[in-house]
Chains A and B, each alone.
Chain A
Amino acid sequence: MNFKHKYVFLFPGLFVLIGILIFPIIFTIRLSLSGWNSYTPEMNFIGITNYIRLFTDDPRFWESFFRLSFLSVTTVILQYIIGFALALIVWREIKFKRFFRVIFLIPMMTTPVIMTVIWRTFFHESLGPVNDLLGNLGVEPILWLSDPVIAKFTVIIVEVWQWTPFMFLLLLAGLLSLPKEPFLAAAIDGASSFRKFVYVTFPLMAPISIGAIIIRLIEASKIMDTVFVLTSGGPGTATETSSFYIYIKGLREFQMGYAATLSFTYLVIMIISLTIIAKVLTKLMIKE
């Protein structure tokens, strides 16, 4: 089975994707070499001036990048631990298994921005239920959205709520597709549940875990919607992530050229760091 038929299958999709993407990518690179802003909205050529500015004179971008790394790594670790625990629990027979499975899946079906609108009222510092219930227990009102440190954790809570289900789904689907024999063998040997998990389940799940973590890291690195609605990057720049900073530079201050520089640099950093993370995780989790 060969001939030219294979191209008929592949090319429509490939060319549509390339066709849509080629312009934005080339345009971004070209734009990053220009000084396009609201005073001179034109495609002039200023060489690598923007890149020099980024690498020597823009601590705010690098701060936002490290903040993003902190937020996405923390949320993904939490999602992995909680998601794995939930998947293990509903993998085996328990009461109301299917009910719990549905419940655990629901948050990922809801629109993040819209849920964040609800979360904003939920964490409202004087009219929200969280501070009210805590107040009944005698806890001082917590500044969920206006304290620079706590606001980060509020973002993490919302992200964990939103995306643990995705991790849960990938891990549960993986657990359900595992072969039965290793577990039977372990049962015959009389291994305890804990030993079974360490020596059988976890190693078998390693490839699936890596896949799930990488997918989630990719998606988490795009955190934007939540921050946008919940805190707008504030208080100050306490929850500002790279995407949000680029958004401010590009579409609020209209420094298009500089924003393109940021975008392109950010994209390159993302691709490199995700590749490294994938390699490291594979080394750590799959032992020969």
Chain B
Amino acid sequence: MEKLYKFLKYTFIILWTVFIVAPFLWAISTSFKDFQSVNSKVTYIPWLDFEPTLEGWRVLVKSPARGGVDIVEPYFNSLFVTCTASLISIVLGTLAAYALSRFTFKAGFVRNNDITFFFISQRIMPPIVLSIPFFIFLSTIGLLDSLIGLVVVYIVLLMPIAVWIMVDFFNRVPKELDETALIDGCNPYQAFYKVVLPNSIPGLIVAGMFCIIFGWIDFFFAFILTFTEVQLLPVKVVALNSSITPWWSLSASALISVAPLIIVAFVVERYLSKGNLSGALK
């Protein structure tokens, strides 16, 4: 019985691992193919099945004028929008979360929980519902097709995540910590900045990672709200897909776009194993 259970367990996780890794292996293999090895028959292993070329990867650094896919600029656009929006969301979200965790608010029937729910409930809003008014709103104030406009929209996407994680986290930081600081003569801002914040680094890192993930992977807003001036990475890669589809450069650009965040998986795992995340995510 115990043996059978062990066998099933390992079979399951190995099959799942294969399922997770399969599209990556396929993409890596495809990125080294040429026209012949994509279109004649299905090929898998370089040198054995087909002669690998670097063409797919070379196109990425060529200028568009010479038939290249300019992926460098979208890369930095994505990086800028994600980081700026995450930073603003974390700062504002952490302040609000601290207030919601430490003070009591009363306004009519509205209590702390309702305000927290208001923040978090913004995630329910389907992107499509917001995108049409945002389209008109941003074009009225002239921020359509600009990086700033996207940052504004992304704040709505990301601040709820920051508030969600930080409220839970601050609830777990003992209140005595700030109280001692206040008795020692700090004002509330100093207590927050000098005592509570340094003790909240794990929470801040988790919140930061989630903001970066959900900012980096967004496609829809970038797709609706930008055209030619500004292009973000996901939009660029999908645009490649709709043209004549050279699978090799498509795979290469897809791989290079998803690569940076895979590092985040290692960071998350580290925090998970050290036990810091369990508090931050419950």
The CB with the most chain B CB atoms within 10 A, among A100, A107, A111, A228, is that of A111
Q: Is the beta-carbon distance between A110 and B262 smaller than 8 angstroms?
A: yes
Interface band, chain A: 35 or more
Contact pick for A12, options B95, B126, B163, B182, CB 8 Å: B95
- Nearest B residue (CB) for A92: B9
- Interface segment, B52-60, B61-69, B216-224? B216-224
Interface band, chain B: 35 or more
Contact pick for B217, options A112, A129, A247, A274, CB 8 Å: A112
Give the residues in chain A near B250, CB-CB below 8 Å: 117, 121
Q: Is the beta-carbon distance between A16 and B155 smaller than 8 angstroms?
A: yes
* In the complex, per-residue mask of A157-199: 1 if CB is within 8 Å of any chain B CB, else 0: 0000100000001101110110000000000000001000000
Give the residues in chain B near A119, CB-CB below 8 Å: 23
Q: Distance in Å from the Cβ of A263 to the closest Cβ of chain B? A: 4
- Interface SS of chain B: helix, strand, loop or mixed? helix
Q: Is the beta-carbon distance between B21 and A111 smaller than 8 angstroms?
A: no
Contact pick for A260, options B5, B125, B132, B275, CB 8 Å: B132
Q: Distance in Å from the Cβ of A279 to the closest Cβ of chain B? A: 14
Contact of A203 with B by CB under 8 A = no
Contact of B178 with A by CB under 8 A = yes
Q: Is the beta-carbon distance between B39 and A9 smaller than 8 angstroms?
A: no
Q: Is the beta-carbon distance between A105 and B105 smaller than 8 angstroms?
A: no
Contact of A200 with B by CB under 8 A = no
For the complex with contacts A94-B9, A109-B261, 6 further pairs of A-B residues with Cβ separation under 8 Å are A9-B98, A9-B99, A111-B217, A173-B272, A250-B132, A264-B129
Chain B residues with a Cβ under 8 A of chain A? 5, 9, 12-13, 16-17, 19-23, 26-27, 30, 38-39, 41-42, 44, 88, 92-93, 95-96, 98-100, 102-103, 105, 115, 119, 121-137, 152-153, 155-156, 159, 163, 178-179, 182, 187-189, 192, 213, 216-217, 219-220, 224, 233-234, 237-238, 240-241, 247, 250-251, 254, 257-258, 261-262, 264-266, 268-269, 272-273, 275, 277-282
